[in-house]
Amino acid sequence: MNVAATLPAPVRAAEPLPLKLKLVHGFGAVAFGVKDNGFSVFLLIFYNQVLGMEASLVSLALMLALMIDAFIDPMLGNLSDRTYTKWGRRLPWLYAAALPLAIAWTVLWSPPLDSVPTFWQLLAVAVAVRLCLSAVEVPSAALVPELTLDYDERTDLFRYRALFGWMGGLLMLLLAYQVFLKGGLLEAEGYAAFGLFGAGLMLVATVFSALGQHRRIAHLPAIKPPPFSLKVAFSEIREAFAERAFLILAAGAVAAYIGQGLTFAFTNYLYLYVWQFGTGAFVYYPLVLFASIVAVFVSVGAMHRRWGKAKAAAWAAIVGVILWLTPYTLFLAGFWPEAGSTLSTALVFAFLFFANWMTVTTLLSSSSMVAEIVEAFQQRTGRRAEGSFYSGNWFVQKCAGGVGIFLAGLILDAAGLPAGAEPGSVAPAVVDRMVLFYGVISLVLALASAFWFARFPISREDHEERLGALDAAARGNPASTVTRP
């Protein structure tokens, strides 16, 4: 295959991306933030407590929807790699999936109220939402290596994606508590309004982002791929996933996202039963998270320039888990202020700010590292496969997150937390076991992710050298050499 045909124009790599382009690209991630907030925070209580479904059936439906989505993602990525239109490979997916995503999201939060939804109804709508979201998010993330070849510019694109993704989720969290569900978490009408507003926000974010990038990326791909076939698709996906750098990154990402899934599932238990947060504390919680995301946005570029993405990811994982577990260690040792007091809550928020700053730095860095794998794979095979690699990254995230949720349930059972327990009434030994099990597993996972991220084989220098070799090949320089990293 002609390597020159798959390499973006050299001038594209040298031009800094306009701020407007970074903003509109990142704004598209608002849709992911809206979905993540709804699925993580409100969907279980809505279908269980408001609509009357059994909690176990709701959890099973959501887990199966996630697993189905995870296995379909690589196929969506391969399809976007092979899309050949005058609007390029990714834009048609964003335009086509935006409205179905908004409709599916609205239906999810507005089921018929005259009967209890069935397991299969919830599963079908949840799968539809996740697949439509993947049809938006996978091609959108895969645009990053196409928009720029620059090591640092790719970090910029991902930090804007992270900022807008968190902004979308936290905006919905604030509106849910202060507007849509202000009268209580058990009002069905409030959830319908929550879903309708979120659907509109998803639609606007996706279409506006696509339109804002249209002039730059709407052109025929350099080469026309062969017709799609399942056999070829699976062969290409398998070849991409066998890339050494991707396997190392995936090992670190598995540990990191298991830890994230565990923490997300455990958060309410920790804040209720360990720190005994009152209603007022939960008002400040999203504000602290947002402040930590702003800190990531401001600092991650400088960290990558100084240490590189892999080292930044590894060290942030270690520092983050130390900061996150310090309050729990002091709590177990008896050196923490009284749980539920103003001082205790303020200190928890302080450690949360810095710990989340480091943790999100790790996850953002790992996503940005995927972009460099694209050129490594291109150098070895002569083929670019952005969609396959980013869908593979989503596959890792979703499966690992599901494992983290499963671990949370095991820890709660092992600790002996009784059902329906009131905060402040749980035996101290149960709380201690819960904290100890959670802390040990979190530490092991963070160290494992740091171990693998530190061994990621593509540095800034490797990336720039590879671009030089590919550029020389693209210009027809017979002296250029193409070797595997």
CB atoms within 10 A of CB 308: 21
217 and 255 assigned to the same domain? no
Instruction: Determine the residue type at 303.
Output: M
Q: What is the pLDDT of residue 419?
A: 64
Return d(Cα 116, Cα 119) in angstroms, integer: 10
Say whether 298 sits in a helix, a strand or coil: helix
User: Residue 43: its pLDDT value, please?
Assistant: 82
Rounded CA gap, 227 and 405, in Å? 39
Same domain, 110 and 242: no
Side chain identity, residue 319: V
- The CATH number given to whatever domain includes residue 450 is 1.20.1250.20
Query: Which token pair is 31?
Result: 């849709």
User: Which residue do the tokens 């990254």 mark?
Assistant: 393
Among residues 187, 210, 228, the one where a domain terminates is 228
Are 258 and 163 contained in the same domain?
no
pLDDT score, position 7? 42
Asked whether residue 254 falls in the same domain as residue 138, the answer is: no
Give the model's pLDDT for residue 238: 81
Task: Render the burial of 38-53: b for 16+ CB within 10 Å, e for the rest.
Answer: bbbbbbebbbbebbeb
Classify 113 as helix, strand or coil.
Answer: coil
Residue 477: per-residue pLDDT = 52
pLDDT in tens, the chain (485 residues): 333 334 443 334 457 889 999 999 999 999 999 998 888 777 877 888 788 888 778 878 888 888 888 888 888 887 888 888 899 888 999 999 999 999 999 999 998 877 888 999 999 999 999 999 999 988 998 888 888 888 888 888 988 998 999 899 989 988 887 889 887 767 888 999 999 999 999 999 999 999 999 998 888 887 787 777 777 777 777 887 788 999 999 999 999 999 988 887 777 778 888 998 877 787 788 889 889 999 999 999 999 999 999 999 999 999 999 999 999 999 999 999 999 999 999 999 999 999 999 999 999 999 889 889 988 888 888 887 887 888 788 788 878 877 887 788 788 778 887 766 777 888 999 999 999 999 999 999 999 999 999 999 999 898 888 888 877 776 765 444 433 33
Q: Are residues 295 and 395 in the same domain?
A: yes
Pair 317, 337 in one domain: yes
The reported pLDDT for the residue numbered 420 is 61
Examine the domain organization and report whether 386 and 370 are in the same domain: yes
**How many domains is the chain partitioned into structurally?**
2
The amino acid that residue 90 corresponds to is: R
For residue 247, the surrounding DSSP H or E stretch is helix 244-269
pLDDT at 68: 87
168 and 281 co-located in one domain? no
Boundary of a domain, candidates 165, 200, 228: 228
User: What is the residue-wise DSSP string for 433-472?
Assistant: HHHHHHHHHHHHHHHHHHHHHTT-S--HHHHHHHHHHHHH
Same domain, 210 and 242: no
User: What one-character-per-residue DSSP string does 315-363 give?
Assistant: HHHHHHHHHHHHHHHHHHHT-SPPTTSHHHHHHHHHHHHHHHHHHHHHH
Closest CA to 30 of 156, 165, 129, 196: 165
Q: Are 74 and 242 in contact (CB under 8 A)?
A: no
DSSP, collapsed to helix, strand or coil, labels residue 162 as helix
Are the C-beta atoms of residues 243 and 458 closer than 8 Å to each other? no
Give the end of a domain, one of 174, 207, 228. Answer: 228
pLDDT at 350: 97
434: domain range?
Answer: 232-485
- Residue 239 CB: number of other CB atoms within 10 A? 15
Tell me the CA distances in angstroms from 309 to 244, 256, 258, 345, 390, one per residue in order: 17, 15, 20, 33, 17
- pTM greater than 0.95: no
Q: How far apart are the first and last CA of the chain?
A: 19
